[in-house]
Amino acid sequence: MLLDKEFMLKTFWASFKAIPVTLEITIISLLLAILPAYFMAMSRLKKRPIKSKISVVYISFMRGTPIVLQILIVYSLLPSLLNNFFQRFFPSVNIFNANPLIYALVVFTLNTIATLSEVFRSAIPTVDRGQYEAALSAGLTHFQAYTRIIIPQALLSALPNICNLAVSLIKNTSLAFMMTVKDITAVAKIQASYGFNYIEAYLDIFLIYIIVCSVVQLLFKFAEKKLTKKGVKRVRN
């Protein structure tokens, strides 16, 4: 079987131009997930009865169901339910005209919150509690102790897992085409549909995701080294 190299090259560059969409979904989802994930992690670490149980149920549901099902719920079921509400109270608003990128961000943010909270929950206890108590003794408030002492050290410990999460999220965004988002996968599939060159298109997708994920891993590795050196300098000083 011969591959259409001209088509592969053309599709590769067309899909390559869609990388910003994939990165946009990844970065925004991660940023939106930080605060909810942190509060969920803290509620479980401090064993707050109600909040902790809600967090456990939420995390179990998000991590225990396929992301495809979550997409179908948010993109297919949710708009229909919201449409009834908007038609009653805001007739001029058509929920079905919403940008599909919004649905993608909702799905991937909700999914990321569950995983990121577990990352935080495992990273925060790695910092010796004695440092927290010492910070309070030095006159720092609870907020200052966490933002200046605990979180920076926990972040360094969590960075490898955050890197894994980011890479997984990038790969999961390949399902955004189900919500008509024109990401890497969607562009390649559209190009392939004209001449049924799906093998070449999937090879292009494969190569692009390897490149993107490899670059992301290198960036995280560089950031980890920088933060480690910065931490060592602080200790010495």
CATH code at 119?
1.10.3720.10
With tokens 């997708």, the residue in question is: 205
The verdict on 31 and 145 lying in the same domain is: yes
Handedness of CA 184, 189, 192, 197 (dihedral sign): positive
Its pTM stands at 0.88
The verdict on 143 and 103 lying in the same domain is: yes
The verdict on 76 and 10 lying in the same domain is: no
Task: Please give the tally of structural domains in the chain.
Answer: 2
Q: Is the pLDDT of residue 65 over 90?
A: yes
The verdict on 59 and 80 lying in the same domain is: yes
Start-to-end CA span in the chain (Å)? 64
Reported as a single tens digit per residue, the pLDDT across 140-166 is 888 888 888 888 888 888 999 999 999
DSSP notation for 123-156: HGGGS-HHHHHHHHHTT--HHHHIIIIIHHHHHH
Identify the pLDDT of residue 225.
86
With tokens 């599709």, the residue in question is: 11
For range 90-109, the mean pLDDT: 87
The verdict on 122 and 201 lying in the same domain is: no
* Max CA separation in the chain (angstroms): 72
The verdict on 170 and 187 lying in the same domain is: no
Q: 3-state DSSP helix/strand/coil percent for the chain, to nearest 5?
A: 85, 0, 15
Q: Is the pLDDT of residue 229 over 80?
A: no
Structural domain range at position 34:
27-181
